[in-house]
């Protein structure tokens, strides 16, 4: 979608406070919008869309605090990176799928 916004202007804002039981999410990110919309459709008591800006492609959602999480991952050290690479190479033949 052409919105006239630069990538820098296409932001994702996530805000909440300790009092409110909801997390408010405002995003231009297509993948996140699709995931939140699907979740809202499946679990309307936990998540719902609050606004859409068709001009900029932005969508806003409210989601229950216990349903949204942030995942922090530790960086790989060189040894772990090498082990992951070797494991991926060893299992590469198992990753091919037949196309029907």
What is the tens place of the pLDDT at every residue in 30-84? 999 999 999 999 999 999 999 999 888 899 999 999 999 888 988 889 998 999 8
Is pLDDT at 100 greater than 80 in this prediction?
no
Tokens at residue 46, please? 């936990």
Q: Does the predicted model carry a pTM greater than 0.75? A: no
CA distances from residue 46 to 3, 86, 95 in whole angstroms, order as listed:
30, 41, 35
Tokens at residue 30, please? 């297509």
What is the tens place of the pLDDT at every residue in 72-94? 988 889 998 999 899 888 887 76
3-class SS at 77? coil
H-assigned helices in 43-77: none
Structural domain boundaries of the chain?
10-62
Cα separation, 58 vs 49, in Å, equals: 11
pLDDT, residue 28, reads 94
């Amino acid at each position: 979608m052409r919105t006239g916004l630069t990538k820098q202007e296409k932001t994702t804002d996530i805000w909440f406070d300790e009092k409110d039981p909801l997390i408010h999410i405002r995003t231009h990110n297509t993948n996140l919008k699709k995931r939140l919309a699907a979740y809202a459709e499946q679990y309307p008591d936990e998540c719902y869309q609050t606004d859409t800006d068709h001009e900029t492609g932005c969508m806003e959602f409210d989601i229950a605090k216990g349903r949204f999480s942030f995942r922090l991952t530790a960086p790989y050290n060189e040894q772990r990176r090498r082990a992951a690479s070797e494991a991926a190479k060893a299992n590469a033949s198992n990753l091919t799928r037949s196309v029907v």
